Structure formats: structure tokens, C-alpha cells
Copies of this chain bind each other. A is one copy, B any other.
Amino acid sequence: MAVVLSILRALRDDGPVSRAELGDRLGLTRPRLTSEIERLIKAGYITEAGMAASRGGRRSTLVGIHPRLRFAAVDLGAGSIDIEVVNGRLEPLVAYREPADVRKGPKPILHRVGELLAKARAEGVYDRLDGVGIGVPGPVSFRDGVPVSPPIMPGWDRYPVRELLAREHGCPVVVDNDVNIMAVGERHGGVARSVDDFLFVKIGTGIGCGIHLSGGVYRGVDGCAGDIGHIQVDANGPTCSCGNTGCLEAVFSGAALARDALAAARSGASPALAERLSKSDRLNARDVAEGAAEGDVVCIKLIREGGRRVGGVLAALVSFANPSMIVIGGGLAQLGHVLLAEIRSVVYRRSLPLATGNLPVVLSELSGRAGVTGAAVLASDTAFEQVP
């Protein structure tokens, strides 16, 4: 890793530190460190930040990330926009969350993103941005900064998201898949802190997987690694939006669960769901979770059956990738311990003992904030990599 990037990351993640300690931590010689630090101070990325506690000799000055730095983090979901503007320590200064239908196409959605950022600017949160990170709910060419054939995002195919945002804000921009940014977020500030090799499995409207290896997110050759929602789990299962049959997300996902809940309510098989349907014209994962909590047998069965399907796919991926942790996130993580217990049971039963001997399968700690947190990390990494 470039020296500049490692200095800036250390100050971003661990806060102000003396030159001596920074040199020790990064294994840099004093002259090398001094010259890089002078350069970064001049460029306005870091600043002196008070005095260190004495280590015996002369007290030394702390250096820290410059307080003027601002990054925008954007997490576009299938039905929502999440935005945070953060400082150089990635602490949120303002956060907006509102519903939005990504199927409306890139122009209105990115226009709304621009309005929200303008609002933050008008409120004095920032003067100019140093980097923008944005996650979108579909495959992305990370290199080109564009969505590629995203199934649930009509009009977004190869839309120049990075180029347009970079022109609008005059700073480096990074575009990634929403699940990848969640994995990065969970690695930075969640349950996977300091874990190198883990899988972040998002179970929401669709299902996807962020693969984090020691070097960062693994994106595969075409940038679509982790697209596990279309792995076939039932040759006789329902038809998927992709045209194949029995894909994991056609069998279990937010959309699939709503469909199955509706059927169970209408057939009268589930009194809990029928009662909820009578008060509303639709059902979703929350209804099923509440029904299960009340002991409704069909609701519990729907969740366990889904967990069994997800667990079967994860067991295969554990045998293949031998990760050190699996983190479950996304909207359906609210189905809670019934879902988690079923996933764990299948993974532990079906994978090689050597691979599961010490394999935690846990819920995301950041839940709704995993995406924006990861987008902020990527925005700052990208800006730091481009420091002249």
C-alpha cells in the first residue's frame, strides 16, 4: 500500500497520534515519515492536533486528519436513499433517509441525491466535498464506475454515475454494488471489525453477498462476484425475475416472502397473516416476523424454510471459500433468531468440520447503517489514493 494511503487511513481510523508512534505503527523511518507528513499538511489533508503525553523526552506534537475534510456517502436501495456527510474521521455530520423508487431511473434519483447534498451544504455542513461513495442495488463495473445490466434498475445500464457525480462535485467518486459497501462498512465499524476473510450476506428485496478478503472487497473478473441470489436451490421452484427457475431469491427474499405470506393469508392457513391482511392491503417481512413472534405456525415455517434454503447455499460457499465469519444483514435480518438458528444449523451440519470449527454466523451490527458507513470508507480511500 502506498505510504500516503497508509498514513491517512491510520489517522482516519485511529485518530490523532504523535509522529513517533505513527512511524512505529507503519514501520516508516523518521525522514520518510517527516517528508510525507509535511507534504500532507501542505496539501491540507492532515494538521497538527495538540501535544502528545510525554514519552520521557521532549513532548511531541500530534498529527491528525484535517477537520475540514468532508465525504458524502450514498446508499441507494431498491426503495430508499440513505445519505450521510461525514468528516475525515468518518463521523456523520448529517444523515438523510427517505423512500425512493430506484426503478424511476437514474435522472430523478441522482437529482434527488443532489438536492439532499445541496441541503447539507446550505446548512453549513460542508463547503466542498473531498470524495463521494455511492452504492447501487445491482452489478457494477467498479473500474468504469457504471451499473452493468442491473435487473431491478431499468434505465441505469452503463449510466455514467461516477462521471456525472465527479463533474457535479469536483472530487473523486467511487461507485460500487450495495452489498459490497455493506461488507466494507461492517469491516470498518461493525461485527467484522478486524476480520479479513468474511462473507456479508444481504437478504432484502433480493439476495447478494459481499466477499471480503485480506486485500479488501473481492469483486471478481467482471465485478459481479457475490451474486448468489440466482443460485438454483429448487429445480421445481418458482420462476425468478431473471427467467430461470428456483433461484434462491425467487424462493426466499423480501419479495418471495410477501408472496408466500399473501397466499397463506388468503388460504386461511395462517390466522395471524389473515388478520394482518384484513387491516392492510399487503403483507411484508415484518408481518411474518410478528406472526412468528405470536407463535403462528405458518409464519415460523416460512422463516425456517427460508433459513434452510439460505443455509444450504451458504454451506456450499463455506466449503468453497472457507471464510472466518458470515454476517447476515439486509431487511430480512429482522426475522431474527428463528432465521439465524436455521441458517446456522444447516451451515454447521452441511459444511466440512474443519471449516466450521470456529465459524461465527452472526447478524450485522450496523444493520441499516452498514451501507453508508462502507460508502464513506470507500469515498475516503478513493480520495486518499488520489492525493497528488
Q: Which residues of A contact B (CB under 8 A)?
A: 139, 148-149, 197, 209, 211, 213, 215, 218-228, 230-232, 242, 244, 312-313, 315-317, 319-324, 349-355, 357
Contact yes or no, A322 B215, CB < 8 A = no
Residues of chain B within 8 A of A149, CB atoms compared = 353-354
Chain B residues near A197: list those with CB within 8 A: 220-221
Q: Please give the distance in Å from A33's CB to the nearest CB on chain B.
A: 22
The 10 A-B residue pairs with the shortest CB-CB distance in the complex, in nearest-first order: A220-B322, A225-B322, A221-B324, A231-B316, A224-B354, A227-B319, A224-B322, A227-B352, A222-B354, A224-B355
Which residues does chain B contribute within 8 Å of A139, judged by CB atoms?
Answer: 352, 354
A-B contact pairs, 17 of them (CB 8 A): A139-B354, A215-B215, A222-B322, A222-B357, A224-B354, A224-B355, A225-B320, A226-B322, A227-B355, A228-B319, A231-B315, A231-B320, A232-B312, A242-B352, A316-B316, A317-B320, A320-B320
Return the contact of A350 from the options B219, B232, B322 (Cβ within 8 A): B232
| CB pair A355 B323 closer than 8 Å | no
CA–CA, A228 to B355, complex, Å?
12
Instruction: Collect the chain B residues with CB atoms within 8 Å of residue A316's CB.
Output: 228, 231-232, 313, 316
Q: What is the predominant secondary structure among interface residues of chain A facing chain B?
A: loop
Are A320 and B221 CB-contacts (below 8 A) given A139-B354, A350-B244? no
CB distance from A342 to the nearest CB of B (A): 15
Contacts of A209 in B (CB 8 A): 320
Q: How far is A315 from B227 in the complex, measured between Cα atoms in Å?
A: 11
Q: A197-B221, A221-B324, A324-B221 are in contact. Are A230 and B354 (CB under 8 A)?
A: no
Q: Assuming the A-B contacts A232-B316, A320-B228, are A148 and B354 also in contact, with contact meaning beta carbons closer than 8 angstroms in the complex? A: yes
**Structural contact, A231 and B353, CB atoms closer than 8 A:** no
Given contact pairs A211-B320, A224-B354, A225-B322, a sample of 13 additional A-B residue pairs in the complex whose CB atoms are under 8 Å apart: A220-B322, A220-B355, A221-B323, A221-B324, A222-B355, A224-B355, A225-B320, A226-B320, A232-B315, A232-B350, A242-B352, A244-B349, A316-B316
CB-defined contacts of A215 to chain B, threshold 8 Å: 215
Query: In the bound complex, how far is the Cα of B223 from the Cα of A115, in angstroms?
Result: 49
Min C-beta distance of A235 to chain B, whole Å: 9
Find out whether the CB atom of A321 lies under 8 angstroms from the CB atom of B354: no
Q: Would you call B221 and A322 a contact (CB within 8 A)? A: yes
Max count, chain B CB within 10 A of own CB: residue among A148, A242, A312, A354: A354
Across the interface, which residues of B come within 8 angstroms of A211, CB to CB?
A: 320-321
The residues of B that contact A230 with a CB separation of less than 8 Å are 319, 350-352
Please name the residue on chain B nearest to A316 by beta carbon: B231
The smallest C-beta distance from A244 to any residue of chain B, in angstroms, reads: 7
In the complex, the chain B residue whose C-beta lies closest to that of A229 is B319
Of A232, A320, A322, the most chain B CB neighbours within 10 A belong to A320
